[in-house]
Amino acid sequence: MDAGDKARQVFTFFNEIAIIDQLSTTLLGKVLPDGVHPSHFAIVVHLARGGNGKTPGGLANAMQVTKATMSHSLKVLEGHGFIEVRPNDLDARSKNVFLTDAGRAFQAEAIVAAARAFSQFMRATHVDTVAELLPGLVMIRKLLDENRNPVLD
């Protein structure tokens, strides 16, 4: 396989991931409550996984969105009672975001609903394929996360 074939293969790989992301995000959006977007759910998942007390700026960086977009998303989540935004005890100019019990319950319910939606078409062989691919995808995600600002020639 020559360099051009390898480059096309890498492009095709990431293009397939992008399509999978679009399709799965659309399906996820169908099981979330009205007014809650999959991007809002991603913030809840991030807080549940990474711990409470993140700043809005830190969340914006993690989600790779603008601070204004994050501010809007946090207002939506706060309106649903899924998060609390509190003053930072160490820096009066800053705030911290905390997942509420309602937010944790929402996350658990949304995961069950999404799993049920996906399970309608995922057969055991498909689940086995997912299990086989997962370690490689985690490695690629970490590689991309570590190289958010690559030097492009």
98-118 pLDDT tens trace: 999 999 999 999 999 999 998
- What's the CA gap between 129 and 5, in Å, rounded? 25
Residues belonging to the chain: 153
CATH code for the domain of 67: 1.10.10.10
Q: How many domains are contained in the chain? A: 1
Average pLDDT, the chain: 92
Residue 153 lies in a domain: no
pLDDT at 153 over 80: no
Q: Provide the pLDDT for residue 54.
A: 93
At residue 103, what is the residue type? G
Is residue 26 over pLDDT 70? yes
User: The domain containing residue 63 runs over which residues?
Assistant: 3-146
From residue 53, give the alpha-carbon distance in Å to each of 96, 99, 107, 147.
Answer: 5, 9, 17, 25
The answer to whether position 77 is within a domain reads yes
What is the structure's pLDDT at 101?
97
Domain-embedded: residue 37: yes
What phi, psi does 55 have (nearest 5°)? -80, 155
Is residue 152 in a domain? Answer: no
151 domain residue, yes or no? no
Question: What pLDDT is stored for residue 106 in this prediction?
Answer: 96
